[in-house]
Every structure is written in C-alpha cells, then in structure tokens.
C-alpha cells in the first residue's frame, strides 16, 4: 500500500489498519482498509476490491468515524474494482458529511474506476482526482 500524505502534526494522527476480507485459498477477492485520522480529517485507503461481499464491512468500519470529522478522503490508489454496492457506501459517506457541511474527496483513482465514477455521476458532486 502506498504512503498516504495527510496534513497536520504527526502527534494528532491516529492510524488503524483493518483487514476486512482476506483472500482465501480459492482466490476470492479481498479488501483491506487503512484509516488515518488527523484532527478533523479522515483518510480511508482501500486496498483490493470494494464489492457486494466487502462493502458491508467497509460500512461497518465507517460507523462512528464520520461523527467528529469535517473532511473525508478516500484513497483508491490500491483499489482495483468497485461495484454498485461499493459506490453506495461512498455515496452514504458523502451524504452524511454533506448534511453537516463537511466535504469529501476521492484521490488516486485509476482510469477504470474514474470511468465508473464518472458514468455514475459522482464526478458532478465529489472532488475526484485521478492517479498520476
């Protein structure tokens, strides 16, 4: 997983790494989530696939995390796929933050994921930055 640059002092940062769905012997998809909170900014790095099997675990991992933040950054540098179930979790996070005046962005998005987000209309209301 790539390093995540989050502004602010390192003393205020809290990092949590959670393996939500391991790759099994049959080669099924997996997802890891790394959360870094720096003051009122939460960065959530997703590694693997965000799909029907893993999106409920991401939703659960986000419970309570959006309460005391004003900015959420999803880092998709190591995310290779998202289904509509994954898009739903992203949209729910956006709606919660938007309702309380917060903002959300998605960074390091590969071309395939960018096309999915664009076709779904997410680029109309969320700041989305492609991977370099």
**Tens-digit pLDDT profile for residues 35-54:** 999 999 999 999 999 999 99
Low-confidence stretches of the chain (pLDDT beneath 50)? 1-11, 18-25
pLDDT at 21: 41
pLDDT at 67: 93
| Cα separations in angstroms, 77 against 13, 48, 67, 96, 131 | 20, 10, 25, 23, 7
Locate the domains of the chain by residue range: 13-130
Task: Please state at what angle helix 55-62 crosses helix 84-99, rounded to 10 degrees.
Answer: 20
pLDDT at 96: 96
pLDDT at 25: 44
Fold of 13-130: Transcription Regulator spoIIAA (3.30.750)
pLDDT at 132: 83
pLDDT at 55: 95
pLDDT at 5: 39
* Cα-only R_g, the chain: 14
pLDDT at 110: 97
pLDDT at 44: 98
pLDDT at 20: 41
């Amino acid at each position: 997983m790539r390093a995540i640059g989050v502004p602010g002092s390192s003393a205020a940062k809290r990092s949590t790494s959670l393996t939500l769905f391991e790759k099994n012997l049959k080669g099924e998809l997996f997802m890891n989530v790394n959360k870094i909170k720096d003051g009122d900014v939460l960065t959530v790095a997703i590694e693997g696939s965000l799909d029907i099997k893993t999106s409920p675990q991401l939703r659960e991992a986000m419970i309570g995390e959006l309460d005391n933040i004003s900015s959420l950054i999803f880092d998709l540098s190591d995310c290779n796929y998202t289904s509509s179930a994954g898009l739903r979790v992203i949209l729910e996070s956006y709606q919660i933050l938007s309702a309380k005046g917060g903002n959300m962005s998605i960074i390091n998005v590969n071309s395939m994921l960018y096309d999915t987000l664009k076709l779904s209309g997410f680029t109309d209301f969320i700041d989305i930055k492609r991977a370099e």
